[in-house]
Amino acid sequence: MALPPTDTVKIRDVLRRAQQRSRELSRTQQIQIGEDLYCRIAPGGSKFLLFSLDSEPDHATAEAIAQGLGFESPEYGWHQGETLRSLTVVDLAAKPEALPDALETEPQEPPPS
C-alpha cells in the first residue's frame, strides 16, 4: 500500500489554530516553531511569549508571528526569567471581554412586598 503524499501545513494555520484553542480552552498553547524556538500563546489569544533554550529570539520572528496571528497593534517587550530571556508581544488593539459595569446598569425596582 502506497503512503499518502506529504501534507504541508502552513505555520500561519498552526498559529491561528493554537490561538483559537487558547481562546476556547482559556489555556496557554505552546508551539515548537523550530529546533530551539517556541511560542506560547496566552489564554485569550492576544498575547504571546517567544523563547529559545540556547539564545534569544529575534525581533523579526516575533513580528512575523504577530502578523500571522492578526495582531493589529503589537507591543514588544522582554521578560527575564530565571534561566531564559523571552520576547513578549501583546496586541494593544485587542478588546478585553466586556464586563457589566454596576454604575451603568439601570436601577432595578424592588420586588413587591
> What confidence tens digit (pLDDT) does each residue in 53-92 have?
999 999 999 999 999 999 999 999 999 988 889 999 999 9
Q: What is the reported pLDDT for 1? A: 67
| Mean pLDDT along residues 48-55 | 94
Q: What residues contact 11, with CB distance under 8 A and at least 6 apart?
A: 33, 68
Helical residues (DSSP H) of 26-111, grouped into ranges: 59-68
Separation between Cα atoms, residue 9 and residue 26, nearest integer Å = 24
Give the integer Cα–Cα distance in Å for 79 and 15.
21
The position carrying cell 500563546 is 41
- Check if CATH label 3.40.1350 holds for domain 11-91: no
Give the model confidence (pLDDT) of 10-21 as tens digits: 999 999 999 999
What is the value of pTM for the model shown? 0.77
Confidence band for 105, pLDDT divided at 50, 70 and 90: very low
